[in-house]
Structure 1
Amino acid sequence: MVSASNDSQTPPLVSLAAGGVAGGVEAFTSYPMEFAKTRVQLRQQKGIPTPRNPFRVVTHVYQTEGLRALYKGCAALVVGSIAKDGVRFLFFDQIKHAFADKETGTLSPGRNLLAGMTAGVVASITAVTPTERIKTALIDDARNEKRFRSGFHATRVIWHEHGILGLYRGFAGTTLKQASATAFRMGTYNILKDYEKTRNIEQNTLVNFANGSVAGIVTTLTTQPFDVIKTRSQSAQGASTAEAVKSVLIDYGIRGFWKGTTMRLGRTVFSGGILFTSYEAAVKIIEPLYSGVKHKVVEVV
């Protein structure tokens, strides 16, 4: 990730804080689309086919279950996104700086993707898998048993019934998704930004949003199968990665691995723009504050 200050390295604490802010904003604003996508990827109830149009899903749930239902599992995703994106931006910025060309400050496309992949794996281990598990279980439970009262309650029940491994159900699928998604999302964004840097294209809010949206499209089309497998693994009852793959093939065949693509595109085009625009804006606000505090500490010492 090229920092807001272009050639200088973004301080680690700034990357962590700005990434967390961006992740929280992106997760909350785009959650209804995430909710609709997750509903479609879970197994259909007998005699009640799930529509493919995300707006129809959102409208139907709103009319029959109310606004709160559309944000079922949102708190878990927001908390996870704050941690996930804080970690992803932190590691990506540090790896990017270490691998960057010393003269131009840019990375080759391959190294951009490798930096993103590494950041994605770390994020999956530290934050994404357990929070995604809770979010998906809450959405699935809301249409069936309705035994989870909140994200905290769901965490307690899953921990009691399955231990810590229950919270890491779908770890393989989630990690594959995070590694590939972060590689393509952050890698694509940075490739575009490096290209624009060589063409002296001004980096403003509109350009950042457009770059983030393009990165979202690339990410969705290349990583959708991992997202479907992850969702099936993390349903209320849970399933192993192998069981999830088998269930998708039985239910829909190969095409099933791209189930929910339209809905995820609707979210990632929007959320990709929000994520990177929020990050760049947060860096511009947080970095001067951080520098001021650091300078005062040095003066006192």
Structure 2
Amino acid sequence: MQAPPDLPDELPQEALSQSGAARALRDITYGSVAGMVSKVFEHPFDLTKVRLQAQVLDPTARFNGPIDCLRQTWRKEGIRGLYRGLPAPIVGAMAENATLFLSYNELQSLIRRISGQTTDAPTTLPQIALAAAGAGGITATVLTPIELVKCKMQVQMLAASPHVAPSAVAAVAGLPLSASMPVNSSTIAKLPGPISVLMSVIREHGVRGLWLGHTGTLLREIGGGAAWFCTKEFVAGKLISYRLSKTSPGTLTKGKGREAEPLAYESAISGAFAGAAYNIALFPADTVKSALQTAQELHPNSHQARLGYLGMAKEMWSKQGIRGMYAGCGVTIARSIPSSAIIFLIYDGLKGRFG
């Protein structure tokens, strides 16, 4: 019995729709897993970066550098302190990488369609940069509220210290203001968790307040995302070409076979280079964002707590100049190299294993 005449035309469309949905689900799953694993590894270093960035506005520095920051955090707060605020970054890393890889791959497909290219046509670096920048812009919108909560939690213990006015401790802990309020273990024990911090922001500033520092996140993700994906694809392409030239002379053109896919070490190496490029690209934008998102905790009664993005950038520049804008850059690059390697190692590995 023959199928209805229109069935052959409908099946490809249905299969295409299912294929697109399956691809999107895989991107979300692979990106989430990669982000979660990498964030557990890098969180102590990210906490160090935020604390170093937050002290740029202080008259005297609490830490002499990243090693001193890690040492003091370990001595005063232990392992729990090194992972303070981790739930928000875990959620953020899953959301960030899922959104980033999904939107990046979908934008690549859109660019190819607009350019009239076939789905298996190689993507040029300018096309990669455009797709990555667009993906970064989309991701920044999802990421800003999560980063806001994370940064506020990462400086809670700094606010609950002799370096900060007692009113700052009250603001962080949600206690009544008192000029004579002592900083003690009972105050520290009352520091709020991520949900409390989130609800506090909404109560004080409305839902719109969750996007405080969005300009910095947007700049960082657009520029950094383009640098991240372009560097990864460029380095991976060079490594694959070198491997193919050694094993199969004359097959340097990018093919469809599995031999043209990156091996584990190629994903890790290219990912490591990408991690460094991401942070070098627009690090000052992230520094200003972190200071803006933590000003209310560390400087609640100063004019700095009321500054906008450009105002904060000028304030930080006047305090420490270029050195202040790159506070925490060294430790950030040091942790982003293995972290980014882990992300692409896992993402490419899952993609190669399950499609």
| TM-score computed with the length of structure 1 as normaliser | 0.85
Q: Highest CA radius of gyration, 1 or 2?
A: 2
Contact 1:112 1:187 in 2 (8 A): yes
Cα drift, residue 193 of structure 1? 2.6
1:272 aligns with 2:346: no
Letter in 2 for 1:283: K
Report the equivalent of 1:137.
152
1:180 aligns with 2:192: no
Report the equivalent of 2:176.
none
Within 5 A, what are the aligned runs for 1:197-212?
197-201=240-244, 203-212=262-271
> Identity of counterpart residues, as a percentage?
23
Within 5 A, what are the aligned runs for 1:221-300?
221-235=280-294, 237=296, 239-287=307-355
Within 5 A, what are the aligned runs for 1:1-301?
11-43=23-55, 45-52=58-65, 54-99=66-111, 102=118, 105-125=121-141, 127-144=142-159, 145=169, 146-147=172-173, 148-201=191-244, 203-235=262-294, 237=296, 239-287=307-355
Which secondary structure does the structure 2 equivalent of 1:107 belong to? coil
| In 2, Cα distance between equivalents of 1:65 and 1:79 | 23
Going from structure 1 to structure 2, the CA distance change for 1:105 and 1:240 (only over 3 Å counts) comes to same
- Which structure 1 residue ranges, 5 or more long, are not aligned? 1-7, 288-301
Give aligned pairs, total: 278
Contact 1:129 1:167 in 2 (8 A): yes
Return structure 1 stretches of 4+ with deviation > 3 angstroms: 44-49, 97-105, 194-202, 284-287
Report the equivalent of 1:292.
none
Which secondary structure does the structure 2 equivalent of 1:106 belong to? coil
| In 1, Cα distance between equivalents of 2:295 and 2:200 | 11
| TM-score computed with the length of structure 2 as normaliser | 0.73
Cα drift, residue 98 of structure 1? 3.8
Cα drift, residue 96 of structure 1? 2.3
| In 1, Cα distance between equivalents of 2:106 and 2:236 | 17
Cα drift, residue 95 of structure 1? 2.0
- 1:138-162 Cα offsets, whole Å, 9 max, x none, are 1122211241410111001111111
Letter in 1 for 2:130: L
Going from structure 1 to structure 2, the CA distance change for 1:230 and 1:187 (only over 3 Å counts) comes to same
Which secondary structure does the structure 1 equivalent of 2:294 belong to? coil
Greater Cα shift, 130-139 or 247-256: 247-256
Contact 1:99 1:107 in 2 (8 A): no
Letter in 1 for 2:278: T
- 1:125-149 Cα offsets, whole Å, 9 max, x none, are 1x21000000111112221124141
Going from structure 1 to structure 2, the CA distance change for 1:35 and 1:150 (only over 3 Å counts) comes to same
| In 2, Cα distance between equivalents of 1:178 and 1:27 | 17
What is the Cα-based RMSD across aligned positions, in Å? 2.2
Which secondary structure does the structure 2 equivalent of 1:283 belong to? helix
- 1:194-249 Cα offsets, whole Å, 9 max, x none, are 34444455622211111011011111111111111111121151542122202211
Going from structure 1 to structure 2, the CA distance change for 1:103 and 1:94 (only over 3 Å counts) comes to closer
Which secondary structure does the structure 2 equivalent of 1:96 belong to? helix
Greater Cα shift, 43-52 or 217-226: 43-52
Cα drift, residue 187 of structure 1? 2.0
- 1:151-203 Cα offsets, whole Å, 9 max, x none, are 11100111111111221100111111111111111221122233444445562
- Which structure 2 residue ranges, 5 or more long, are not aligned? 1-18, 160-168, 174-190, 245-258, 297-304
Contact 2:239 2:266 in 1 (8 A): no
